[in-house]
Amino acid sequence: MRELLSELRDWHTAGTPFALATVVGVRGSAPRAPGALMAVSATGAVAGSVSGGCVESDVYEVATETLTTGRTELRTYGISDDEAFGVGLTCGGTIDVLVQPFVSAADRDGLRELVETVAAGEPVALATVVSGAARPGARRVVLTGDVSGSLGDGGLDAAVTDDARGLLAQGATGSVRYGAHGERRMQDVTVFVQTYAPAPRMLVFGAIDHAAATARIGSFLGYRVTVCDARPAFATRERFPTADEVVCAWPHTYLESTPVDARTVVCVLTHDPKFDVPLLVAALRTPAAYIGVMGSRRTHADRIARLREAGVEEAELTRLASPVGLDLGARTPEETAVSIAAEIIQHRWGGTGRPLGELAGAIHHGRGGVR
């Protein structure tokens, strides 16, 4: 949704009808995960992608049709027939795509709340009936303390609201199945719950050229990026225009005062003991998903010794990704930032870091529905 915010807002403002295609199911290998979106306006404009190009043309045609008929459509795409130039996926997987028209002002206004909530960085979930004993395309927007819309049955609304808030707390997206009135462990209604949690944070410490490149790629990956340095001449907005915020403070003091959760990544690029040691002691006390530290192997060995002297235990030291990044042969700050980003992605999804051509089995990790 975040990648479509600009277009959706423009279409809302102009009163332009549009259709929204959502990947609601994935079986086997597929280019995009559940929740991937593509929007098609009544003027023919397209934003987003549901398959990276394999089935976009057909989805475009379906979306255009729904703008005329007003009906929600569920389409399934499997392996393509290359010889017949059939529409499908060449990767061997299968995806289900739900295409919903937003033609009337009332329909578009119903989605506007979701768009504005996502734009504001607030947690929200969108529950949509995919199939079964309820109206396909019926929607319910679930916020932390409020709801809007209905799936057509009070019991179903209550069950979906409860599950949507649970999924939102986990940052998970997927399909959930119920009885017609919200009964558990039944298969009468399939509801796709798409969650939008606030963007995860990337905390970059050390206002150097490598930090500028890392901040740029962090923003590109969807992180809310903060750059922090104790030196006023270096910690300036002019040096880090792509960062969401630039903070001039002692790194460990700032880290101890700012929210850090299990999705936060910390990049320590200062390679100066007077900053590094107290900062890393503080970082290892947080639930941060990744703590990467720049420096040579000699610097790393000295840093580990200092951390041990500061009372850091061996189990905690294993959390450090140091020297930071994957071995890509990087030389420039930009190449180093790619190396760091690659390691963050590998850590998040459990990749091997090896060339895909040397491996067998599934390419994509962590895909699929909730249940």
Q: What is the pLDDT of residues 304-347, one digit of tens each?
A: 999 999 999 999 999 999 999 999 999 999 999 999 999 999 99
Looking up tokens 């790619």 gives 338
Confidence of residue 359 (pLDDT cuts 50, 70, 90): confident
- The C-alpha angle with vertex 144 and arms to 137 and 164, in degrees rounded to 5, equals 40
**pLDDT of amino acid 84:** 36
CA–CA dist 325, 340 (Å, integer)? 4
Q: With contact defined as beta carbons under 8 Å apart, do 173 and 194 qualify?
A: yes
CA–CA dist 277, 321 (Å, integer)? 15
Q: How many residues does the chain have?
A: 371
Q: What is the DSSP string of 305-348?
A: HHHHHTT--HHHHTTEE-S-S--S---SHHHHHHHHHHHHHHHH
* Least confident among 109-123, 282-296, 321-335: 109-123
**Mean pLDDT in the chain?**
89
Helices (H), the chain: 5-14, 56-69, 105-119, 154-170, 209-220, 251-257, 273-283, 297-309, 314-317, 333-349
Instruction: Give the tens place of pLDDT for each residue, 36-89.
Output: 999 999 999 999 998 877 788 999 999 999 999 999 999 998 865 444 345 555
**pLDDT of amino acid 119:** 86
